[in-house]
Amino acid sequence: MQSYQRQYLKEMGIDVWVDRNTPVSINESVVEKSISQNKVSVQPENQPSVLPVELDTLAKQIAVCTKCSLHESRTQTVFGVGNPDADWLVIGEAPGADEDRQGEPFVGRAGRLLNSMLLAMGLPREQVFIANILKCRPPNNRDPKPEEVTACESYLRQQIDLIKPIIILAVGRIAAQNLLKLETPIGKMRGQRYQYPDSELPVIVTYHPAYLLRSPREKRKVWEDLKFAMQTYKAIT
């Protein structure tokens, strides 16, 4: 295990001895380059990314969306952020207060932990694409309503069609169940390779970083999930 990987596992709160016997292959040069260029912001910067024209058109369409009532309470839509050519698409639930304010997904405490999870996999935040099931914040961070998920569904599908990721990492129950159209408890979804509906795109499920902040003991399970996701990715590339 490399020292920088140890460092990010430590940030995730995972003791290295948990993984001593499990070799993990990660893209060392990408991590080192990212660190040396100081790109690994613990608090992500809110810089508008330059999107290819089709994604940009979609983002502009979403920005004025009024398909559900969430448009009435949002500050702004949260389209997603990252590499438009990403192999990895990370999908969360919905913007929270910080994300609604900044227009970028996963920028709060949970976002910092997500960054550490990604870095432990050798994936700087900038290298993946991060989006949510919902593009608008539900008031008081309540769970998304089915009609809101339905209204937003085609946006996520269009993002997937344009980005063409190789693998999806669904973080949290809401993301996993809505993405896969399943009601299976998240604990039972872990360790399974699912497919995004009507495609062969693999989906791996793990716990939401906000849940990990409340239940740090579960971080070991998440590291198992992330290793499983990396193995799945490696097997298809």
The residue ranges that bind ligand URA (CB under 6 A) are: 92-96, 99, 105-106, 110, 132, 172, 210
* Closer Cβ to ligand URA, 92 or 202, answer by number: 92
* Closer Cβ to ligand URA, 151 or 174, answer by number: 174
* Closer Cβ to ligand URA, 31 or 78, answer by number: 78
CA distances from residue 94 to 79, 111, 154, 182, 200 in whole angstroms, order as listed:
10, 12, 15, 18, 25
Rounded least distance, CB 105 to ligand URA, Å: 3
Rounded least distance, CB 94 to ligand URA, Å: 6
* Closer Cβ to ligand URA, 4 or 106, answer by number: 106
* Closer Cβ to ligand URA, 124 or 209, answer by number: 209
DSSP SS3 for 82: strand
The first and second tokens of residue 113, run together, are: 């932990």
Asked if 132 and 95 touch (Cβ cutoff 8 Å), the reply is yes
Rounded least distance, CB 65 to ligand URA, Å: 17
The first and second tokens of residue 98, run together, are: 């910080």
DSSP SS3 for 5: helix
d(CA 157, CA 232): 22
Rounded least distance, CB 110 to ligand URA, Å: 5
**81-100 burial: b if 16+ Cβ within 10 Å, else e:** bbbbebbbbbbbbbbbebbb
Q: Give me the residue whose beta carbon is nearest to ligand URA.
A: 92
Rounded least distance, CB 172 to ligand URA, Å: 6
Distance in Å from the first CA to the final CA of the chain: 22
